[in-house]
Amino acid sequence: MITENFIEGANVLYGEKNEILNSIYKRFENNQKTWIITLNTLMYMEYFKNDVYKNSFHKADILIPDGIGIVKYMNKKGLKTERCPGIETMKYFCEISGKNDKGIFLLGSRDEVLKKASINIEKEFVTKINGYQNGYFSKERDSEIVDIINFSNADFLFVGMGIPRQEEFILNNYEKLKPKIIMGVGGSIDVFAGEVKRAPILYQKLGIEWFYRMLKEPKRFNKFPELIKFYLKYYLKR
């Protein structure tokens, strides 16, 4: 279930989605602190040229295959896996938090968005949001933010500050953070708040949620050359 062959020095979980989630849950049951990175194609490409990604991949406890490009590449290399989308993983742990009476802390986005997301998450998953903090703070305030998170006694920390800022925050403060499950969630907080809609089911089934997001946010198209580069350099490589 864990491979270091795909990315040297990094623990990449693979297999059926339920197997991946159950493996992480076992760590939670055993009181093992776990940093989860949801791996997509753009992050994989940045790994080779960005020290934040490189160090994060090596420091994180678990990487899970989020992007369809990563899934296809792993399958091609003989590592048969299903996609484990970040937002579905976040939902899974929101359910776990409710069933186990464990609190959640949301970090990222804007205050008004966080308030909406907190209300919706508590209602949908019958759980509690122990606290939240917007993502608009300087690195000099990291220690203060860590104290706020730890004081909340939350067991789940979802960081939605975009990449690479969320990975950088977790990387620089991982040893001091007390939550048991720590995960970068990108724009998922905005989705829970109802500010952003997730891609329609058809896009999800085809594994092209990334294309839907590009259509909704044309500025994302500036990353398209990197996707083509991945396809040509890695996926087509024998």
Range 154-161 average pLDDT = 97
> How far apart, in whole angstroms, are the C-alpha atoms of residue 107 and residue 28?
20
pLDDT band at 220 (very low <50, low <70, confident <90, very high): low
Give yes or no for residue 120 having a pLDDT over 90: yes
**Phi-psi sector, 101: left (phi>0), alpha (psi -120 to 50), beta:** left
Q: What is the pLDDT of residue 93?
A: 97
The crossing angle, in degrees rounded to 10, of helices 51-59 and 165-173 is 50
Give yes or no for residue 236 having a pLDDT over 70: no
Q: What percent of the chain has pLDDT over 90?
A: 67
**Phi-psi sector, 129: left (phi>0), alpha (psi -120 to 50), beta:** beta
Q: What is the pLDDT of residue 216?
A: 62
Q: What is the pTM of this model?
A: 0.91
Q: What percent of the chain has pLDDT over 70?
A: 86
